[in-house]
């Protein structure tokens, strides 16, 4: 199958399926190590727990993007 034909078939897939396919392709270009994945999973679980227990300060997304925009403009 030629690349052009493959891309045409892929473009006809549902968005969610294309996103999953793109993720899988990217993983083949930059494979992760299981120990790194596990470390990130542990970190995320700790952050969720901290948030649920009220020990984390959250910042609204709008505020984060506004601040980032200000930094970029400097």
Residue 1 confidence (pLDDT) above 90 = no
Beta carbons within 8 Å of 10's beta carbon, 6+ residues apart: 18, 21
Count, residues in the chain: 74
Under a CB-based contact definition with an 8 Å cutoff, are residues 17 and 9 in contact?
A: no
Q: Rounded to 5 degrees, what are φ and ψ at 64?
A: -65, -50
Instruction: Give the count of domains, the chain.
Output: 1
pLDDT one-digit tens code per residue, 3-41:
999 999 999 999 999 999 999 999 899 888 899 999 999
pLDDT one-digit tens code per residue, 52-64:
999 998 999 999 9
Structure-token match 């970190």, residue found = 43
């Amino acid at each position: 199958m030629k690349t052009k034909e493959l891309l045409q078939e892929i473009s006809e897939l549902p968005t969610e399926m294309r996103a999953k396919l793109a993720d899988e392709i990217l993983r083949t270009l930059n494979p992760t190590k299981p120990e790194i994945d596990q470390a990130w999973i542990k970190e995320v679980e700790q952050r969720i727990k901290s948030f649920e227990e009220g020990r984390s300060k959250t910042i609204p997304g709008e505020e984060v993007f506004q601040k980032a925009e200000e930094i970029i403009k400097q």
